A and B are shown apart, each in its own frame.
Chain A
Amino acid sequence: MAYVAIADRDHEQELHDPTTFITKYIWSQDHKVIAIQYSITAMFVGLVALGLSAMMRLQLGFPDSFSFITPTDYYQFITMHGMIMVIFLLTALFLGGFGNYLIPLMIGSRDMVFPYMNMMSYWVYLVSVIVLLASFFVPGGATGAGWTLYPPQAILPGTPGSELGILLMLVALALFIVAFTMGGLNYVTTILQARTRGMTLMRMPLSLWGIFMATILGLLAFPALFVSAVMMTLDKVAGTSFFMPAILSMGETMDHEGGSPILFQHLFWFFGHPEVYIVALPAFGLVSDLLSTHARKAIFGYRMMVWAILAIGGLSFIVWAHHMYVSGMNPYFGFFFATTTLIIAVPTAIKVYNWVLTLWQGNIRMTVPMLFAIGFIFTFTHGGLTGIFLGNVVVDLPLSDTYFVVAHFHMVMGVSPILVVFGSIYHWYPKITGKMFNQTLGKLHFWITFLGTYAIYLPMHYLGFLGVPRRYYAMGDTEFMPESAFTLNQGITISALIVGAAQFIFLYNIIVSLKKGKDAGSNPWEATTLEWQTPDTPPKHGNWGPELPVVHRWAYDYSVPGCRDDFIPQNMAPDDVPMAADSVSQSPDVGTHGSEGETDGPDGEPVA
């Protein structure tokens, strides 16, 4: 029997609605519940990592003041902060959280195609988080090898947590990758197979393009991290020498011989650079939808935006060694990787232009999600441009391993994605909960976070120009560092503590609004995409009631000339579009953009 796309099957499979509390909210196979489980867990570990960063900043701003922060603690804090934020918060939240929630709703399906596997993905993720956090409590504590876990140092005495801490870290990563793979296969398959009638790929909202491409990157990149975790574990416990040359440790020569520490770095960054885009691409996608919706204007250059996502995704696999310009790898690699790295700036810049051009001639509603979206354009532009410094191999020489790097990556993959996370949570909160959050608190949260983070990271770049090295427990008395650099560090610490505290405004807002928020209605932002057109808010199990929606147009029919409203939902048939009173005779040119030359569905079948 020929394959029939899910949306085209005559008889829908019977839905087994969960009946008990446990199947509804704990062992749930509903993508929306799993998304919320993922998000809450991710935000919880994010809070732990935020706490760690506060401790680091206290030590850096006021060295010699806090007797409970020893060098051992400090290196454990930076390591766990980095790993949690990059993997266990951002990756999990964007893909496990937003991916899970939005994919089925935005493509008009009832759930993921493999709901059971989706559930398993979350529970394995939870176990990985527990293993990771457990490493704080084992003898020797968590690993302090830096989030990059470079061997030989990571598994040798002299580094905190070089016994159990590092092993638990490697196990936690391996578990996370298992969880991610189960989720990721699901996201990709669902997007390819479960789109409803009329939802061609080129009609999908950019959020989905970003999540889709990021998931593919993850599926291709995480195996490199997985094998390096396995190899390092073997080096540690079985005496192999994948990454271990003949060396000295604690005054004694070791038995290892012949391994290559740089091999680990290649594997790590083969994962690590795409990882940047695993976090960035969903942010790119989500922010595009936020901007378009709240500017009441079609995203500018949709096709170019899609191609840019694909180009960035592809290029992200051939730029990894720009993290290794001073690693001691063959220096001739520098020419290749600097060139590819700067090429990637072109599609990235196009995305920034198109976001800004989406605002141009818009009708900008300065809502809370919009504040965060525009804040993102600013911080991402800043972080992207400083990336050009570090990507240009020779400029990286003085700046590598200084605070410039710390400032750069926090701007580009810390602050920027987090602004999108906040903007997106505020944006979809009414759909997820049915309630509206408190606008005043949302704005307060934005202003403190946006201005505060810039006060942290702008000056930090200049510490880098001075040459202040990163990953230093204390600068001590270093001749080229002026006294004023220490004052600057204190200022940065104070900003960081304020920004950290401000995040409790956010938590308070989203928790209290669950009870006290006003009813939001089904489509408070007047958005076009399918998730806003569900029969129930919050959407019920199965999402759509008896009939799946049918898509007639792309995701960005905002302010179409001649129409009464400034948005046309994707599932509104051309004949149903209400016309403006003075242009009844004019046949609206709607529902065609994005579908020219795209009359075929993903399986080559005609779209209804």
Chain B
Amino acid sequence: MPLAIALIVLVVGSLLFHFLSPWTFTPIASNWGMIDATINITFWVTGVVFVAVNIFMAYAIIRFRHRDGARAKYEPENKKLELWLTVITTIGVAAMLAPGLFVWAKFVNVPEGATEIEAVGQQWQWSYRLPGEDGTFGTIDAKLYSVENPFGIVPDDPNGQDDVLIDDAVVHIPLGEPVLFWLRSKDVLHNFTVAQFRVKMDLVPGLVTYMWLEPTKVGEYEVLCEELCGVAHHAMRGRVVVDEPEDYQAWVNSQPTFAEIQARPAGDPVLGAASYAVCAACHGAQGEGIQALNAPKLSGQDPRYLKKQLRKYQTGLRGAHEDDTYGRQMAPMASTLPTEAMIDNVIAYIGTLSDTDAPATVTGDAEHGAELYTVCSNCHGKDGQGIKMNAPRQAGMSDWYLLRQLENFKAGIRGGHPADLRGKQMGLMSQTLHDEQAMKDVVAYINTL
């Protein structure tokens, strides 16, 4: 009897939970309302079966509970009943399957003239490519991935010259137009998911997969990786911005093409030296960093990282948080380099400076830090040397600065801007370090590398 009551309570409770709890579908922002409709059909059919089977069972438990002198009925089979149940079940199943397959056919067949975008996954970051004016993507060769050619485009393929390259985790798509995402992975399996769009698909190295949708609401949506891709899987975040078509076009026009990037002259250290005079005031003539001025060591740092940071300061992705005292000092300084060429020149000059390891100032339990650092080493390298195309160098850089940045990441002071997804990634990873002491231990370990 208690079990029968429990079953009834669970059935009623499940229904109440379904209808009353605040947890339900994230509001949809694409054309795939048909998927939601199929789910609702499935909910009704399965819900009826769930309620019917369990209530019937609860009733049977009460009605046919053991009584002295009672005897069960001997009825090994009832072919007619079994046949009926089979037929009804088959109809119910067909009622769910048919709309499902109908909608799947729509998903498999991409409408003509869809806007094409390639999303590229790499441990643990997103970037994107558009086919450019010719509407054709250039050929990719996985053997060509490098810092200079992160997309691995075959340099002499004419189709690739006008490909628009977005070396950033934020992509824009036009409202109300079908968008075809080609999905490509550089290393392991990933998955491109935007909860509001409903559809998702894996990225498979060695293959190009696809999915399509039509965004129906202007807004910004978070991209998640939903195929386990290693230790920073949960930190692999991206962003899709749905624009009015004209805004979208303006955004596309502002992005560089492969040819433009290839044609960019290498930075000129001689020209950069003049600009660096401003930087030297705080960062030191050799880029060695001056702790008293809160300026970290620059020499020996990954040029791509330095450039990305300067751009972030310029665009407010970094150094805009009200608690980021020193970042706010740096932001106006970054704007003394208004053109891309000037940035390249300064960074080229920094590359010529002598690189001696910064002195150790932070102390902690390096042994404990070594354990914690196993997570960090996946991006920053076993020796803290940084991994090109991924994360900056730490070993031999200003340790007090590392500590402060860890604190800032953890507190959301750095990496808190919604468009700063690499920063957000580091923010998520910094959660591994639970307190100030853990951070000091890690930095102490980095000092030993």
Contacts and interface: CB of A to CB of B under 8 A. Distances in A.
Interface in A275-326: 295-304, 326
Contacts of A386: 46
B89 A349 contact: yes
Contacts of A249: 187
Given A393-B101, A480-B26, A402 B17 contact: no
A326 B202 contact: yes
Contact of B230 (A153, A349, A378): A153
Nearest to A331: B108
Q: Is the interface of B mostly helix, strand, loop or mixed?
A: mixed
Contact of B46 (A67, A353, A388, A594): A388
A475 B104 CA distance: 30
Contacts of B17: 458-459, 462
Contacts of A328: 183, 201-204, 207, 209
A359 B183 contact: no
Interface in B235-291: 235
Nearest to B418: A479
B388 A398 contact: no
Interface in A322-360: 326-328, 331-332, 334-335, 338-339, 342-343, 345-346, 349-350, 352-354, 356-357, 359-360
B145 A304 contact: no
A356 B60 contact: yes
A46 interface: no
Contact of B100 (A150, A392, A561): A392
Given A64-B431, A157-B378, A338-B104, A473 B233 contact: yes
A559 B74 CA distance: 6
Interface stretch (B189-197, B311-319, B325-333, B343-351): B189-197
B187 A152 contact: yes
Interface in A352-390: 352-354, 356-357, 359-366, 371, 374-375, 377-378, 381-382, 385-386, 388-389
A485 B228 CA distance: 21
Interface stretch (B34-42, B169-177, B352-360): B34-42
A356 B196 contact: no
B85 interface: yes
B224 interface: yes
B338 interface: no
Contact of B142 (A245, A251, A349): A245
B187 A342 contact: no
- Could you say which interface size class chain A belongs to? 35 or more
Given A328-B209, A361-B73, A476-B427, A374 B61 contact: yes
A601 interface: no
B202 A378 contact: no
Given A245-B205, A246-B143, A144 B231 contact: yes
B23 A466 contact: yes
Interface stretch (A21-29, A232-240, A254-262): A254-262
B435 interface: yes
A345 B7 contact: no
B57 interface: yes
Contacts, number: 363
Interface centre among B73, B186, B438 (most CB of A within 10 A): B73
A585 interface: no
Interface in B155-212: 183, 185-189, 191, 193, 195-196, 198-207, 209
Given A64-B431, A298-B76, A395 B24 contact: no
Contacts of B372: 70
B206 A361 contact: no
B209 A153 contact: no
B292 interface: no
Interface residues of B, number: 118
A365 B66 contact: yes
Contact of A70 (B49, B81, B222, B432): B432
A251 B379 CA distance: 9
Contacts of B143: 246, 253
Interface string A400-412: 1110000000000
Contacts of A371: 3
Given A362-B64, A475-B234, 15 more contacts: A153-B188, A245-B205, A247-B206, A301-B76, A334-B108, A346-B93, A352-B53, A364-B61, A388-B96, A392-B42, A465-B23, A471-B234, A477-B412, A477-B427, A488-B23
28 contacts: A70-B432, A158-B231, A248-B187, A251-B389, A258-B206, A295-B72, A303-B77, A326-B201, A327-B204, A335-B104, A345-B89, A346-B93, A350-B86, A352-B53, A356-B56, A363-B67, A364-B60, A366-B61, A374-B7, A382-B50, A388-B42, A462-B17, A463-B23, A469-B226, A477-B427, A478-B222, A484-B23, A559-B72
Interface of A: 63-67, 70-72, 75, 144-146, 150, 152-153, 156-160, 245-251, 253, 258-262, 295-304, 326-328, 331-332, 334-335, 338-339, 342-343, 345-346, 349-350, 352-354, 356-357, 359-366, 371, 374-375, 377-378, 381-382, 385-386, 388-389, 392-395, 397-398, 400-402, 450-451, 454, 458-459, 462-463, 465-467, 469-480, 482, 484-485, 488, 556, 558-561, 566, 593-594
Interface of B: 1, 3, 6-7, 10, 14, 17, 21-26, 32, 34-35, 38-39, 42, 45-46, 49-50, 53-54, 56-57, 60-61, 64-67, 70-78, 81-82, 85-86, 89-90, 93, 96-97, 100-101, 103-105, 107-108, 122-123, 142-143, 145, 183, 185-189, 191, 193, 195-196, 198-207, 209, 221-222, 224-235, 372, 374-375, 378, 381, 387-390, 412, 418, 424, 427-429, 431-432, 434-435, 438
